[in-house]
């Protein structure tokens, strides 16, 4: 089955800019570029990917767009733009000229204020995305889910949202609540999708087992359903806890009881439709 990887990153490593890559993550303290990924995609029957921002700058967006221009297997880019900028529509009009730019993301998980996303200027910026047919990736941790519940009603149901990395539940601690209840509430928004990505880095890096993820994946299958979930590797961040093929294999095992159409939706079709690939 051909797959689309809905979530991965590229960077030229900079120790100051990329200080979030701590010494216990030394395996990814280096450059990661399309040439490093292409062979992995081929080996795992992944025909294309979506490159997602890791740095909060327009330079990052332009960097990813240039990589996408050079590498046809990069089907889409999720960039960064200052959504609180009073001239946000001008910036979005500029980026609408780049067909591979599909949406935007802000590193909300790094904001000290869990209510950051509820500021009027941020809501206004996200609301401007719809006019230009851009999606928005929600990157949060479980403590921010109450804010996400308040955030989504500000927008029309036509605006496309996706939660990255299951909202990073505490898999290593085997903690399921209040994450499960809050994700159930969010799943009631038909315009909200969720990426089955970033799981191994929330588990015990060296000792995770495939069934560590069963509750979380099954809960999302029950609440979001197969038509609003999508595969993402989170490469190269995933390398701190596993190889690309292990990420594919653990999800493959969890989806094996689904119909072929449901599996195809999660592996490929949902990403193609959500991001207009």
What's the distance, CA 122 to chain centroid? 19
pLDDT tier at 163, thresholds 50, 70, 90: very high
What's the distance, CA 57 to chain centroid? 17
Contacts of 236 (CB under 8 A, 6+ apart): 8, 9, 28, 32, 36
pLDDT tier at 228, thresholds 50, 70, 90: very high
51 vs 41: CA distance, rounded Å = 13
Terminal-residue alpha carbon distance, the chain: 18
Q: What is the DSSP letter of 256?
A: T
pTM: 0.97
Q: For the sheet containing 46-52, what is the strand order?
A: 3-8, 46-52, 74-79, 101-106, 135-138, 161-163, 192-196, 229-231
Residue-wise pLDDT tens digits, 125-162: 999 999 999 999 999 999 999 999 999 999 988 999 99
User: 213 phi and psi, to 5 degrees?
Assistant: -100, -5
230 vs 239: CA distance, rounded Å = 20
Residue-wise pLDDT tens digits, 82-137: 999 999 999 999 999 999 999 999 999 999 999 999 999 999 999 999 999 999 99
- The class of domain 3-274 in CATH terms is alpha beta
pLDDT at residue 1 tops 90: no
Contacts of 153 (CB under 8 A, 6+ apart): none
* Mean pLDDT in residue range 62-70: 98
pLDDT at residue 260 tops 90: yes
Element (H, E) at 136: strand 135-138
């Amino acid at each position: 089955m051909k797959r689309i990887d809905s979530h991965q990153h590229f960077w030229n490593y900079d120790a100051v800019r990329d200080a979030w890559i701590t010494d216990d993550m030394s395996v990814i303290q280096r450059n990661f570029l399309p040439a490093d990924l292409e062979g992995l995609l081929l080996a795992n029957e992944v025909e294309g990917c979506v490159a997602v921002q890791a740095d909060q700058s327009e330079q990052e967006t332009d960097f990813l767009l240039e990589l996408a221009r050079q590498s046809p297997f990069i089907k889409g880019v999720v960039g960064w733009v200052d959504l609180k900028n009073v001239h946000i529509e001008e910036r979005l009009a500029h980026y609408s000229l780049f067909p591979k730019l599909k949406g935007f993301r802000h590193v909300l998980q790094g904001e000290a204020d869990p209510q950051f996303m509820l500021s009027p200027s941020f809501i206004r910026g996200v609301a401007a995305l719809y006019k230009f047919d851009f999606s928005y990736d929600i990157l949060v941790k479980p403590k921010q889910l109450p804010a996400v519940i308040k955030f989504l009603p500000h927008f029309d149901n036509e605006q496309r949202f996706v939660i990255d990395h299951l909202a990073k539940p505490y898999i290593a601690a085997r903690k399921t609540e209040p994450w499960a209840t809050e994700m159930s509430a969010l799943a009631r928004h038909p315009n909200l999708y969720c990426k089955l990505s970033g799981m191994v880095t929330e588990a015990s890096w060296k000792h995770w087992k495939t069934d560590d993820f069963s509750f979380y994946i099954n809960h999302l299958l029950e609440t979001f359903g197969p038509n609003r979930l999508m595969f993402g590797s989170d490469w190269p961040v995933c390398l701190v806890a596993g190889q690309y093929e292990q990420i594919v294999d653990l999800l493959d095992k969890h989806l094996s009881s689904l119909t072929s159409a449901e599996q195809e939706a999660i592996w490929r079709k949902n990403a193609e439709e959500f991001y207009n690939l």
